[in-house]
Each structure stands twice: as C-alpha cells, then as structure tokens.
Structure 1
C-alpha cells in the first residue's frame, strides 16, 4: 500500500482513536450491534428515498418467481429494519434472517407499516450458515447492503444458492469499490480501516461483482450506478439478480 495512503489512514484512526481502542479491547462490537439498528431505522428512510427508483426497478419482477403453489416465498437475508418491505408484492411470505438479534424490535415497526407482507419468522443466523432454512425451500432471496460487511462472500453466495429452489432468484443491491483511478477510491482507501467499526464490519473497497461472476448461479445480471449521495464514500453501487 502506498505510504501516503497509510499516512492518511493513521490520521483518520487518530481522530477516531477512542473507537479503535474500544475495538482493540473487544468492547466496541457489542456497542455497535446495539447502536446499528437504532441508526439504520433513521437512515433507511433516506436510503429508500434516494434509491427508491432503483429498488422499484429491481423488485418489479419478484412476482415472476412464484412457486408452483402460486405463493411467493421470500428470504430477506440481512433484513435489518425491513428496508425492502415497501417494495415487495402484496401477499408474499417473508422469512427474515439477520445475525444481529437487536433488529427484531425495529422490524416490528416496519411490519406494522407494511401489512401487505406476510411475515413468517425472524431467525438469528449468519448468511454463511442458515441450517434453519431447508435446501431448495425459497423462491427468492433478497440481500441488500449486506455483502459489504461479510468476510466470506463466497460462503454466503453458496448458502443463498442452496436455499433457493431450482429456477429461483437472488436479488441484490450493494455499495462497492469506486474506480481505482478516482478520488472517491482514494477516500475509500483511507477511510476503510475506521469505517469497518462504524458500519459493523462494512468494507468500502469490495469489488463484489467479481464474487457474483464466479458464483454457482446459472445467470447473473447487474448494473453499476452512482447513488445520489454526492460526497459519500458509498456512492458506487451495483444492483441486479442471479438465477439458480
């Protein structure tokens, strides 16, 4: 890594020194896991406001993947506060999975505001290991703004592939690394070591599309877009779907 990037990373770390000390002592993670749902409840509305056009386009074909019974069974992986519920078709059955149990309280409020969604259950599990979900049992898996904080992306994609029925679909929307020649990528690089503590493991410089391209899915389609967050390090996004 270039010396000037390391220098600026250290400068940012000094500014956020209390956070890094707490992380080193193992005290920050419990704080972050309780704080994140509170923050996401407030941030979600802003994300949906600015990314709503892309989400509507992305989820417009969800109903095409109804199973033989005519029902649409959706696994919302990394469901958080239920940010995607407003975009789901009426009557769909939604199973929520998140490794952070603190989201359950906030999820209830979102369900009350989106009664067109038929909530099934809330499971506490990491996306890389969901033994509670039977193989081939889901029509659709939705996973948005999650892979940025996953250490084993190949593992979570394999698990998504496992729980989908043949012909099922995985829908995704993720922020990703910027163009390496851009100033935004430079800022992503210098913020990365501190950002992971702010975002509960979130990494700014992941080239997530490369993991999707080498996954087991039979077809992967996605677009690169810039979210309308002008000065944000998470402005570059991809969204699309993959078929089993």
Structure 2
C-alpha cells in the first residue's frame, strides 16, 4: 500500500510539475497567498449547501449561550471570506482574525451582507492563530474555528491562545476536516493528494489528526462529533 501511495503521489506531482520549481525558488507562496482567497470563495460557493444545516445546528447554540445580555463577543479565528457570518445570531460582535491580509476585501463584502452582526470597529486583525497578541486575555465569550487547524504551524499553540482569549465559561466552536480512518480508500487518497494540496491549499494538511490536539488541550468540557466525508470540504 505504501508503494502505491508513493507512485500515485509522484503521478500527481508530475501533473502539477510547474508548481515545484516555483516552490523551490520561493515565488509560489506569495502568489498562493494573493490568489488563495479567490479559491476559497469559489469552494465556499460550491460546497456551502453541504454544510448549511450542520452550521445552523452548531452555531445556533450561540443564541442559547447569550443569556439576558443578548450580546456576545465572538472571535472568528481564521475568518477567511466570512463564510460563517450568516449563521451567527444577531447580537454577536465579531472580531475577525486571519494571517492572510488578502481576505480583507472579501470580509468587507460579507460584513455588508450580514448587518445583523456588529463588527468590532470593522476591524480585521492580521495575525497567526499561534500568536494573537492583539487580543486581550479573557476578552472573548465565543471563539469559532472553521477549517483552520489543518493549516496552522502549531495546533497546540493555537488552542493555547484560544484558551487564553476566552473568558472563564466561554465556548469554543470548531469545524475541521481530519484524516479518514487508516486503511480506508479515503485515507489513501488523502495521502496521495497531501504533498500537492499542501502547496495549493496554503499549507493545508489533509491527514491531520486534529481530534488528538483537541483532546490534549484539556478544555473543561469537550464534545466532538465525527461527520461522514460528504459533509466536509
């Protein structure tokens, strides 16, 4: 099986051969950063219907968390194009954080389309999840991470930062794609595509075992539900 994976990986790399010299010369990453938001916008438009009901179910819990104040300070971690804005209940005040500054114009559009939300001074914080120094300890009621932990340098450090910025009793909502069960055909294709997709997907890892990082983070409570591949991007 390992030999088959390596042969298929080589075939995929050969099909995307122009990427390799660009990556080795260091000119691919800046180009990827500038064009990646357009790819995400297209993928979001094509696949959002697969996730819509589950997102309503997941983020609907925020409304029950609001209580009498009907206000929530929410950090959209790795906000991307703002694809989750429509699912947040009215009364949320959103702080957006992403390491890629090229998402900003997409965020402005999403903000304009979701006037039921308040945006923290229309602020877009450009920073990695591993070092959210601009955010004060205990300043957030809710943190949301949607398809983020697959592409960060250190999931462990990101989760430490999430715990730091959450107030006591705050909630962390996550939606991540992860490695399929080892030995399955789905996992085989994740392995095959991993080297190429990591280049195209701005560092995204298809075979991450993110649930282990979440378990090791030692949140006071942890609830995880594994969805079949049809629900994942």
TM class by shorter chain equals over 0.9
SS in 2 for 1:223: coil
TM-score (norm 2): 0.94
Q: Does 1:28 align with 2:25?
A: no
Partner of 2:75, secondary structure, is: strand
Structure 1 unmatched ranges of 5 or more: 236-244
The answer on whether the counterparts of 2:41 and 2:81 sit within 8 Å (CA) in structure 1 is yes
* More helix per residue: 2
Runs of 4+ aligned structure 1 residues displaced above 4 Å come to: 67-70
Alignment partner of 1:45 is 2:45: yes
CA drift of 1:151 comes to 2.1
Q: Quick one: distance in 2 between partners of 1:197 and 1:157?
A: 24
Structure with higher strand content: 1
Q: Tell me whether 1:130 sits opposite 2:132 in the alignment.
A: yes
CA apart distance, 1:69: 5.1
2: CA distance, partners of 1:28 / 1:175? 25
User: In 2, Cα distance between the equivalents of 1:27 and 1:3?
Assistant: 31
Output aligned runs, 1:227-242, within 5 Å: 227-228=229-230
2:158 match: 156
Structure 1 residue 3 displacement after superposition: 2.6
2:62 is aligned with 1:59: no
For residues 49-84 of structure 1, the C-alpha deviation after alignment (integer angstroms, 9 at most, x for no partner) is 110011111111112333885420000000001010
Aligned residues between the structures: 231
Superposition CA RMSD, Å: 1.6
Aligned match for 2:145, one of 143, 146, 150: 143
Residue of structure 1 in register with 2:196 after alignment: 194
Structure 2's unaligned 5+ residue stretches are none
User: Where do 1:112-127 residues align within 5 Å?
Assistant: 112-120=112-120, 121-127=123-129
